[in-house]
Amino acid sequence: MIGRRVFLLAAILAAGCRAKPTGPAGTGAKEKAFEFFDAIRRRDWPTAFAATHPNGRLNLSAEAFTRLAEQYRRSIGFEPEQVFVTACDEQAETATAHIVYQGHAVLKQRHKDGITLRRDGDGWGVMLPANLGR
Determine, yes or no, domain membership for 7: no
pTM: 0.78
- For the chain, the domain total comes to 1
- pLDDT-derived band of residue 133, with 50, 70 and 90 as boundaries? confident
Check: CB of residue 78 under 8 Å from CB of residue 109. Answer: yes
pLDDT, tens only, 73-130:
999 999 999 999 999 999 989 999 999 999 987 788 999 999 999 998 879 999 998 7
Determine, yes or no, domain membership for 4: no
Residue 20 confidence (pLDDT): 43
Determine, yes or no, domain membership for 113: yes
The neighbouring-strand residues paired with 111 are 101
pLDDT, tens only, 31-76:
999 999 999 999 999 999 999 999 888 788 999 999 999 999 999 9
Determine, yes or no, domain membership for 87: yes
> CATH number, domain at 35?
3.10.450.50
Determine, yes or no, domain membership for 2: no
Determine, yes or no, domain membership for 134: no
CA angle in degrees (0–180, nearest 5) for 25-29-32: 125
- Closest to 62 in 3D by CA, of 73, 74, 49: 49
Structural domain containing residue 66: 27-127
Report how far Cα 88 is from the mean position of its chain's Cα atoms: 7
Determine, yes or no, domain membership for 15: no
